[in-house]
Amino acid sequence: LRGSRFRVEAWNPAQAPRPAMRGCQRRAWIVVPPLARTSLEPDAAEQALLAATRRLVDEGQPVLVLVAPSVAASMGMVDPWSGLLADFGLTARSGDMVVQLQASSESGRALRQGVEDVRPGAHAVASALAGRAAWPMALPLDVAAAPGAVVAQVPDEPSIWIEDDPRVVSRGVTEVPADKALQPGAVVPLLA
C-alpha cells in the first residue's frame, strides 16, 4: 500500500483510541483478526477489535475484513468473525479450508493450503484481481446475498477441495478425496 502512495497506519483498538483523520481525503479500514490465539474464546484484545470493527461497519465506513481459520469453528463453536459478516448475507466457513494437492517433485505430491490464483467472480471489480492475488489459508464463503457480490472464487480444478478436518490439513494426504473434489463449474466464493 505504501508503494502505491497510500498512507498506512496500524491501530490496535485494545491499546489506543481510533487515529484521527489527519490530512487524508478518504480512509479505508483493513481488519486482520489475530492469527495466533491463546484460547478458543476471544481474549480481551480480540473482543476490542471485534467491537471496533462493528462500530466501523455501523458507521458505514469502508471495511475489508479478513477471516482466518478457526479451530473453534471446527469444534462446533461459533466463530465471532463469521458472525460479524452474517448481517451482510455472508458466512465465513472458518472451520473449512481450501486445499490443493500439487506435484512437489516428479514422483511426489504435497498438500498446499490456499489458492495460487483466484478466478474472477461476477462483481464489477473482479477482473482486477485476475493473476494478481495468491490466497494462503483461503476460507470458503457462503454468499446468501446477490451472486453478483462475488469478487473472487476458487478455480474449479479437480486438485482443489474444501477440507473440514484440521487433521488432514496438518498431516497431509496423497490423493484427492473422491467425495470432496470440486466439480466442474462449482462456485466457491473467497471474497465478496
Structure confidence by residue, pLDDT tens digits, 52-67: 999 999 999 898 888 8
Contacts of 78 (CB under 8 A, 6+ apart): 72
- Residue pair 109/174 in contact (Cβ under 8 Å)? The answer is yes
The reported pLDDT for the residue numbered 127 is 77
Distance CA 60, CA 56 (A): 6
Closest Cα partner for 188 from 110, 108, 91?
91
Structure confidence by residue, pLDDT tens digits, 109-156: 777 777 877 888 888 777 777 666 777 778 888 887 666 788 888 888
pTM, two decimal places = 0.77
Pairing, β 29-31 against β 63-65: parallel
Whether the predicted pLDDT of 176 surpasses 80: yes
Neighbours of 43 (CB within 10 A): 12
Whether the predicted pLDDT of 78 surpasses 90: no
The reported pLDDT for the residue numbered 13 is 92
* Span 179-191, average pLDDT: 85
